[in-house]
Amino acid sequence: MDFNEKYNQCIKAFTSIDDPKNLEKDINGYVDFLEIMTVFAGEDGVSYGDILDHFYGMQSDEQTAETNDRNETYVNRVFVLFEERMLLFGESYPFLITEEKVVKLRENLSNSKKLYIFLLLSSSLNIFRPFQSELTADFEDVCLETMKSFLPNAIVKAFGEHSEYQGTAREKIKALADDIGLPIDTYEISQIGERNVQERGLDIVAWIPHKDNCTNLLVFLCQCGCGKNFESKQHDTRRFENYYLFYKTKPQHTLFIPYSLINPNERKFYHSDYVEKDYLIFERKRILGLLEEAGDAIFNNLKTKPLVEKCITN
């Protein structure tokens, strides 16, 4: 399947979504969908009426006033959250809203704004499934660069698909232990299948080295999750507490997601119950903030750059 065929499948998947029930459980997902509608809408943009009609259809005489009010109230909440994103993301935000309540894509987008759109597409694999492998691979690379920016004095390495660590899972885990300087639990590692070559849920690892030989280190074990079920991925890196004997300091479990979770009004995450205790989260705002200076180069190196450009110019 060539690029255009895959892209046409994405358009078909997008146009077939006309049931609001799933998205109403997550208002951030609803706003993401509004942004994708805007990307595909071209110069006309997306009006308040467009989003109301797309999900609820033309209002009919059979509908009660209560139902119509409920639908309009929810769409109003979507537009309020959209306006909050405009303020939160500032110069990184590729969308605007007119006085007539029409959402439009800004003109002459910078690469930092295109990077936002990349994260938006990575958050919507149900639509962009034909490009899933490319989007997830690019997202891991973006997360790697984010971690390097966050920890400029740390050693940051990929442990997933593009890792320097090769061989079986046992061999990879032992090689990483040697690099960090951590002892291993030989019994726990012996329980991993001999032919297992997977990364065991660890995508990126970072540690801050010291000049002494003490294994009391700050280690970050990172998972990158594009899927909607990112909650379950918070367990993936915890098995490494069985493999390695951390001395005095537990590792910092870290999750990268392309979604927008920050609630600017309350200064916390929307749906904070999704996030487990003792987890460090890098979501859309944090990723873009850390890549503010390097965004141009990073976007140009994405394998999915043509996909983002196609969506913008469609």
At 273-290, the pLDDT tens digits run: 677 778 899 999 999 999
Q: What are phi and psi of 221, to 5 degrees?
A: -110, 115
Distance CA 30, CA 95 (A): 15
pLDDT (tens digit per residue) in 184-229: 999 999 998 887 767 678 999 999 999 888 889 999 999 998 876 6
Query: Above pLDDT 90, what percent of the chain?
Result: 54
Distance CA 91, CA 84 (A): 13
Q: What is the CA radius of gyration of the chain?
A: 22
pLDDT (tens digit per residue) in 111-135: 999 999 999 999 999 999 999 999 9
Distance CA 253, CA 30 (A): 28
Contact (CB, 8 A) for 222 and 204: yes
Q: From 174, 198, 172, select the one nearest 186 (Cα to Cα).
A: 174
Contact (CB, 8 A) for 234 and 255: yes
Higher pLDDT, 59 or 207: 207
- Cβ-based neighbours of 30, under 8 Å, separated by 6 or more: 20, 23, 24, 78
Q: From 278, 213, 207, 215, select the one nearest 248 (Cα to Cα).
A: 215
Sign of CA dihedral 27, 31, 36, 38: positive
| Residue with token string 């991925």 | 233
Distance CA 283, CA 265 (A): 17
Residue 54 is predicted with a pLDDT of 78
Q: Residue 297's beta-bridge partner residues?
A: none
**What's the whole-number average pLDDT of the chain?**
87
Contact (CB, 8 A) for 206 and 180: no
Residue 295 is predicted with a pLDDT of 78
Query: Above pLDDT 70, what percent of the chain?
Result: 90
Contact (CB, 8 A) for 78 and 51: yes
* E strand or H helix at 74: helix 65-89
Average pLDDT over residues 230-244: 83
pLDDT at 9 over 90: yes
